[in-house]
Amino acid sequence: MAKKIYSLLVVLIAAVLLVACGSNNSKESDASSKADAKWEKIKESGTLKVATAGTLFPQSYHTEDNELTGYDVEIIKEIAKRLDLKVEFVEMNIDGMLASLDNGQIDVAGYSIEKDSKNAEKFLYTTSHKYSFTSMIVRESDNSGINSLEDLKGKKAAGAASTPYMKIAKKYGAELVIYDNVTNDVYARDVANGRTDVIINDYYLQKMALTAFADFPIKILEDVYFNPSEANFALKLDNTTLQAKMNEALEDMRQDGTLTKLSEQFFAGEDVSKEKDYDLEKIDISDIE
């Protein structure tokens, strides 16, 4: 009798497992079908809709002839070309990008999703096309009174809302001065004239900004570097087929030297496309809203 009961239990458990497995496979199949359908819709339209800042030299900015260009912009153009698509760029701030991804107004956002952030669970992201770390721009004459991260307390930190850079400033007690998708020169000028004290941002972007605005009495604070970072493109969570297509194109561009060529073009000879092992402090901002 006991053997019969045991056998029946084994059969029941196996049946439950088969149903669960079938349900999971069905869900995965549905998700894959939806992702494929989204990709087919993009292919049929012939256009990839991409949000970009248009104000972030040298990654996304306008030339004197008002042509949109930059490292990120040209990478997207090349990806689209390899996918036999045209690109429709829409310029907006970071909060607008993520909202537009959510509601389906755009396919791709020129916004980097940090792998250990809350956004990593809310969005997809491509493989990285830029590796860097974080630094601070201060006034040349007095370092804006900042010699360490702890000195940020009470200082006016300039930046865009929702960025990890402003979360760092908030963590260390700075007063946040929020800008809405303005060009680099506005940030730099305000530090120089004392309206703000510091800009926390990507080292290579700041290095290029100092070259572009050499007349401003500002500098990168020496030897205060932290948070190694990677830049990628963001996609809606269910757009896995497009993600795979973009990743394949990015890998091809890495292998054939296109990423290196574009990096050296926009970052004054620096190859930011290659992963580097930066031995720098990683500041946890996961608890900062």
pLDDT tens-digit readout, 209-257? 999 999 999 999 999 999 999 999 999 998 999 999 999 999 999 999 9
What residues have CB less than 8 Å from 17, skipping those under 6 apart? none
Q: How far apart are CA 153 and CA 155, in angstroms?
A: 6
The domains found in the chain, sorted by start residue, are 41-129+232-266 (3.40.190.10), 131-228 (3.40.190.10)
pTM: 0.86
Task: Write down the pLDDT at residue 286.
Answer: 84
Q: How far apart are CA 116 and CA 62, in angstroms?
A: 32
Q: How far apart are CA 268 and CA 219, in angstroms?
A: 18
**Angle in degrees, 0-180, between the axes of helices 203-212 and 184-192, rounded to the nearest 10:** 80
Task: Write down the pLDDT at residue 277.
Answer: 87
Q: pLDDT of 182-195, one tens digit each?
A: 999 999 999 999 99
What residues have CB less than 8 Å from 134, skipping those under 6 apart? 165, 168, 200, 201, 202, 203, 225, 226, 227, 229
Task: Per-residue pLDDT tens, the chain, 289 aa: give them.
Answer: 555 555 555 555 555 555 555 555 555 556 678 889 999 999 999 999 999 999 999 999 999 999 999 999 999 999 999 999 999 999 998 889 989 999 999 999 999 988 877 788 899 999 999 999 999 999 999 999 999 999 999 999 999 988 999 999 999 999 999 998 899 999 999 999 999 999 999 999 999 999 999 999 999 999 999 999 999 999 999 899 999 999 999 999 999 999 999 999 999 999 999 998 899 999 999 888 8
**165, 133, 116, 88: CA torsion to nearest 10:** 70
Which two structure tokens, joined as six digits, stand for 47? 């256009």
What residues have CB less than 8 Å from 6, skipping those under 6 apart? none
Helix, strand, coil tally for the chain in percent (to 5): 45, 20, 35
Q: Closest Cα to residue 49, out of 84, 10, 100? A: 100
**Angle in degrees, 0-180, between the axes of helices 258-266 and 71-82, rounded to the nearest 10:** 150
Which amino acid, one-letter code, is at 179?
Y
**Measuring CA to CA, how many Å separate 5 from each of 2, 9, 10, 156, 233?**
5, 6, 9, 73, 56
Grouping H, G, I as helix, E, B as strand and the rest as coil, residue 247 is: helix
Q: Which helix (H) or strand (E) holds 179?
A: strand 175-179
